[in-house]
Amino acid sequence: MRFWLVVALALPSWGQSGFLNHGQPVLDAHNCYPYEGRWAERIDRALHTGFPVAIEQDLAWYRGRVVVSHTAKTTGSEPSLKEHFFERVRPIVEKALADNDRARWPLIVLHFDFKSNDAPLLHAVWELLGEYRAWITTAVKSEDPRRLAPFKAGPLLVLTEDSDAQERVFFREVPPFADLRIFGSAHSAPITGNTQAEKDHMAATLPPEKLLSASATNYRRWWNNSWKAVEEGGQPQAGDWTAADERRLRALVDRAH
């Protein structure tokens, strides 16, 4: 299990600047679930790092169930999202609700990586989030998508990535003035090149304002990058940390904010 950073969350311009961890980085537990019969303790390890913490769950579909899986080719051995994540964190969330220390919320950022964008899977996830809506950070769907409504904090904040199919189900199909339960990431500029080396070079050198050219929307509230945007070739090719690397990372974070 690897840990990454959630670097920025788009917020309204009024009164929510410290909404997530007072503007500080948050550890993200990548691939935080068992697969191939191994690593069943990953979620416990992540939760024991302290709060707030982000936890990634990769989602797939198996005979009418939302399951946690590293691949879309499911077998039925995969744990359900409901049991593996939601019921596992129930004692933590219910204690947070009882304590009502809203200044600390959200405690957990639930990060989805969908292994397919089939409509039944997306709709089932939306309905599952509805079962736990009392736990979840929401924002009202404004009539103008460019208007960022303030978050209503809950112990959980649910994020997903940049798929347009997900935006259709999780945002466009939601009636005006209803609560949004999940928030997508911004589209980055496409990375092109004739070879992988050319693509890696472009990813690490494209100016941040070109890599992220769109403004946030009420749904698209964060920006998701691999480490290839910081160091050429990503973490497998990463060398000693340099002043240039520091400037690149800072420029990306500043652009996200």
Give the model confidence (pLDDT) of 71-86 as tens digits.
999 999 999 999 999 9
Give the helix ranges, DSSP H, for the chain: 42-47, 81, 87-99, 119-131, 164-167, 196-205, 208-211, 243-256
Pair 125, 250 in one domain = no
Number of domains within the chain: 2
Beta bridge pairs of residue 57: 112
Alpha-carbon distance of 129 to 136, in angstroms, equals: 8
Question: What separation, in Å, do the N-terminal and C-terminal C-alpha atoms of the chain show?
Answer: 27
pLDDT confidence of residue 12: 67
Instruction: Give the span between the Cα atoms of 94 and 237, in whole angstroms.
Output: 43
Q: What mean pLDDT, rounded, does the chain reach?
A: 92
Q: Is residue 150 a contact partner of residue 12, using CB atoms and an 8 Å limit? A: yes
Domain boundary among 156, 185, 214: 185
pLDDT of residue 18: 72
Which amino acid would we find at residue 236? P
Rounded to whole angstroms, the Cα distance separating 93 from 179 reads 20
**Lookup: tokens for 234:** 């990503």
In angstroms, the CA 11 to CA 59 distance is 27
In terms of domains, do 142 and 239 share one? no
Q: Are residues 210 and 96 in the same domain?
A: no
Does one domain contain both 167 and 51?
A: yes
Q: Are residues 42 and 131 in the same domain?
A: yes
pLDDT of amino acid 3: 42
pLDDT tens digit sequence for 209-233: 999 998 999 999 999 998 999 999 9
Residues 25 and 147 grouped into a single domain: yes
The parent domain of residue 240 ranges over 188-257
Q: What is the distance between the alpha carbons of residues 42 and 32, in angstroms, rounded to a whole number?
A: 5
Spatial separation of the C-alpha atoms in residues 190 and 204, rounded to whole Å = 13
Q: Is the pTM of this model over 0.75?
A: yes
Query: In terms of domains, do 56 and 104 share one?
Result: yes
**Rounded Cα–Cα distance for residues 56 and 10 (Å):** 19
Of the pLDDT bands very low, low, confident and very high (cuts 50, 70, 90), residue 35 is: confident
Give me the pLDDT at residue 14, please: 52
How far apart CA 2 and CA 60 sit, in angstroms, is 21
Question: What pLDDT is recorded for position 6?
Answer: 46
Q: Indicate the residue among 153, 185, 217 that finishes a domain.
A: 185
Provide the strand spans (E) within 26-120. Answer: 26-30, 53-62, 65-68, 108-114
Q: Which residue would you say has higher pLDDT here, 238 or 134?
A: 134
pLDDT at 139 over 50: yes
Q: Do the Cβ atoms of 255 and 208 come closer than 8 Å?
A: yes
Is residue 181 pLDDT above 90, yes or no? yes
Q: Indicate whether 55 and 67 sit together in one domain.
A: yes
